[in-house]
Amino acid sequence: MADCSRNQPRNHRFWSGQWLGFTIFSAINISGGGRFLENDRYRGILDGIPFEFWTCNRSIYRCFLSRFCSGLGSGIMWPTMSLYLSEIANPAIRGSLISFNVSIASLGMFLGNVMGPYLSMEMFAYVSLVPNVLFMILFSLIPESPYHYVLHGNIDKAEASLKWFQREADMKAKMQEFQDFVNGANTSILTKFKDFLLPVNLKNILILFGLNLFVQTSSFTTINAYAEIIVINAKVNITPSIVVMALCFSTVVAGFIAIFVVDKFGRKNLLILSSIGVTISYLALGLHFYLLSLNFDPEKLTWLPITSLLSFNLFVSYGLATVPSTLLGEMFPANLKNLASLCIFSTNALLTFVFVKCFQPFVNLTGETIVFWSYGLFVLGAVPYVMYLIPETTGKSLLEIQQSIKNKLYDLSKSKL
């Protein structure tokens, strides 16, 4: 049987197992398949379990099973984490907190890329298991969100949770705000589907779906998965693995910078800046491969693909990789958060799977120049999309955001009369 204990190349089929698992369990998890998974903390805890499979891997089949289980765990955690953080955070730092979570994930990817070339898969699994076990233990000690307790009628626990997360909050005003926000959330599935189809909610779903389509077209996951192959094909005179580590580190740096600016400059401004920066990066990267096709000396062009990829990682981390998760936790009423997350994250996982699988055939068919220029021009379309369709939610409470969306829809319908 094939041995999986040695280092494996970045094979897109190997990683596809994770995204397939992510797609499936996003649907199972958020659609409310079990009472146990209604607890946000337990959903997060389950994400650490797949790494235990790595420690006993001795065959390629178990490696694929581990990746699939990792996808299941991600399908549990990522949708839940956005909702959980949006509920526990003060409105003034909500965007920063969710961006911090994404940045920490980028840090984990960077550390994985640093360790990967020097460790066997089995040893890599043992090392990775340590922070995952710590996560499962420590996260289980954190209280549920106040919204969760209010939704289930546990007012005393809601007050204790609010004191734990926001120690200086106006308790009476906040509890009233929570009760107003979750009012009517405990409804049947049929009622939720009817509410889901109301114009205001359906419009928000379509808006976020469109935004995430631009996010997927930016192909952050695809570029990360194929980074080493892209660097090799770019014929740079630097060791590809070193370039990949530098790219991962740039993502970490940009992500931590985004933490300090997302609540200061607003969601829309960061999305626009990110989209323009990603477009320029893709155009420059495509230009490099175009110049290679004209037989330019690759040694003299080494700076161009490296600069393009670094700027891509920086700009995508400022907005496109972080802001959509924040908006998902903000734009929907309490009774539709799970259903909206089901639609958005399942679609995202499916699109990621498709983009990762189709990248190499697309390159084989048209060449890198057309691929990267196509990505760049499509992402540029996010600029007018964000300007005219994405609401600004910076600094507003969840209740204020819902009231603002309803007022805007009411004004629009009134103007048509």
The answer to whether 151 and 163 have CB atoms below 8 angstroms apart is no
Report how many helices (DSSP H) and strands (DSSP E) the chain contains, helices first. 21, 0
Q: Which position has the higher pLDDT, 414 or 96? A: 96
Total of domains in the chain: 2
Q: Give residue 413's pLDDT.
A: 56
The answer to whether 167 and 349 have CB atoms below 8 angstroms apart is no
> What's the pLDDT tens digit per position in 281-329?
999 999 999 999 998 888 888 899 999 999 998 899 888 888 888 888 7
> What's the pLDDT tens digit per position in 374-410?
999 999 999 999 999 888 888 888 778 877 777 766 5
Q: Please report whether residue 365 resides in a domain.
A: yes
Query: CA 324 from chain center: how many Å?
Result: 8
Q: Dump strand ranges (E) for 307-396.
A: none
Whether residue 308 is found in the same domain as residue 395: yes
Q: Please report whether residue 158 resides in a domain.
A: no
Q: Please report whether residue 181 resides in a domain.
A: no
First-to-final CA distance of the chain: 71
Whether residue 386 is found in the same domain as residue 261: yes
> What's the pLDDT tens digit per position in 10-64?
444 444 444 444 444 444 444 443 333 344 444 444 555 554 454 455 566 667 7
Residue 323: give its domain's CATH number. Answer: 1.20.1250.20
Whether residue 109 is found in the same domain as residue 201: no
Give the integer Cα–Cα distance in Å for 146 and 143.
9
Whether residue 125 is found in the same domain as residue 193: no
> Residue 37 carries which DSSP code?
G
Q: Please report whether residue 120 resides in a domain.
A: yes
Task: Of 123, 12, 126, 23, give the one whose Cα is nearest residue 71.
Answer: 23
Q: What number of other Cβ atoms are within 10 A of residue 255's Cβ?
A: 25
Q: Give residue 184's pLDDT.
A: 60
Quickly state the pLDDT bin for 147 (edges 50, 70, 90): confident
The answer to whether 200 and 194 have CB atoms below 8 angstroms apart is no
Q: Please report whether residue 182 resides in a domain.
A: no
Q: Is 266 helix (H, G, I), strand (E, B) or coil?
A: coil
Residues in contact with 2: Cβ distance below 8 Å, sequence separation at least 6, in sequence order: 59, 60, 61
Q: Which two tokens stand for residue 250?
A: 């740039």
The parent domain of residue 39 ranges over 10-142
Q: Please report whether residue 163 resides in a domain.
A: no
Whether residue 217 is found in the same domain as residue 314: yes
Q: Please report whether residue 174 resides in a domain.
A: no
Give the integer Cα–Cα distance in Å for 52 and 29.
21
Residues in contact with 62: Cβ distance below 8 Å, sequence separation at least 6, in sequence order: 4, 53, 56
The answer to whether 359 and 226 have CB atoms below 8 angstroms apart is yes
- The interaxial angle of helices 121-139 and 94-115, nearest 10 deg, is 160
Q: Is 297 left (phi over 0), alpha (psi -120 to 50) or beta?
A: beta
